[in-house]
Amino acid sequence: MSKKNKTLKEILDLILYENPATQDEIAQRLGISRRYVTQLIQPLIKEGTIKRAYSIDMKSYEKIVESLGEYVTPNNVSGNVLINDMLFNMAKHVHAQLEMSFDAILESDENKANNALEMDYATNNMVEKIRTSVETIVSINQHSEFSKSVLYNEVAYDLERIGDYCGHIAKFVINDVYEVGNDILRKLKKMYKTAQKMLRLSMSAFLEGRTDIKDDIMELEESIHILQAKSINLIATQMAESSFDEKERSNYFIYLFRVIKAFERIGDISVEIKDVAIEFHDNIPRPTTPRTFRLN
């Protein structure tokens, strides 16, 4: 894109999202002369793409930007870039929260478990900021596609749910007095690594439009369910060999089941994020049939 076209694109975006009152304001904000602003936008004012009150006809905007050599997608308009950055940071935080939670189990570290639980406060604040930011962008840009904008909120809510399950993992250390046996721990390590990878890939699908990796995510989901079944069978064997006269021992198995379920649910939620990504980028609606009743 030439320098002239790049400047015109910056002017159009400024008008579209920040509603400048005058050409002087446009020039000042972009660090160019008012004369240059007039030169670039005068033809668009004459043809009606830019209105006198400095608003833009959205259909004309998309055609012009494409003619400048830049394809318009939901990811490269300024408001959506802001939300994408917020979601990226939230996903990074939730990754760290999951890591802190599992490290607490690996090291039997109650301090790390408490730190992981405290991280959930930030996760909850992040989802609220994204929600209010989406509302603001929709109210400012009357041309925004509301149905797609709210999908940002869905992804943020999914990340919050994963944060909640991280809390279930961390609470195992706080609530229990037994360390996890090596056999179970090996299975948990595999579930943890699989869940982390699923979360990373699903967010990549949404933020980068990489819906082609959907099959990779589904293969990982299958593997995490297999690991879940193996872990449950191993725990069932240990339960059969244990005496339930000890309340603490019975609680240990209950809390351990919750950890395994947490990893499985993180995987399921990652698949849900992948489904949102496909709807967002490929315009393919998510199926309404519950996933447990689908044939594939």
User: For residue 197, what are the contacts with CB-CB under 8 A and spacing of at least 6?
Assistant: 220
Over 70: is that where the pLDDT of 147 sits? no
Whether 119 contacts 93, CB under 8 Å: yes
Q: Check residue 288 and give its pLDDT.
A: 60
The residue ranking higher by pLDDT, 103 or 74, is 103
DSSP assignment string, 16-57: HHH--SSHHHHHHHHTS-HHHHHHHHHHHHHHTSB-TTS-B-
In a 13 Å sphere around the CA of 127, the CA atoms on its Cβ side amount to 18
pLDDT mean over 246-265: 86
Percent of the chain whose pLDDT exceeds 70: 79
> Maximum distance among all alpha carbons in the chain?
86
The residue ranking higher by pLDDT, 175 or 193, is 193
Of 50-59, 98-107, 283-292, where does the model show the most confidence? 98-107
Over 90: is that where the pLDDT of 291 sits? no
Percent helix, strand and coil across the chain, each rounded to 5?
A: 80, 0, 20
Distance CA 259, CA 256 (A): 5
Whether 42 contacts 32, CB under 8 Å: no
3-class state of residue 109 by DSSP: coil
Q: How confident is the model at residue 41 (pLDDT cuts 50, 70, 90)?
A: confident
For 179-207, the pLDDT digits (tens) are: 788 899 999 999 999 999 999 999 999 99
Q: How confident is the model at residue 46 (pLDDT cuts 50, 70, 90)?
A: confident
Whether 83 contacts 133, CB under 8 Å: yes
Residues β-bridged to residue 56 = 50
Over 50: is that where the pLDDT of 75 sits? no
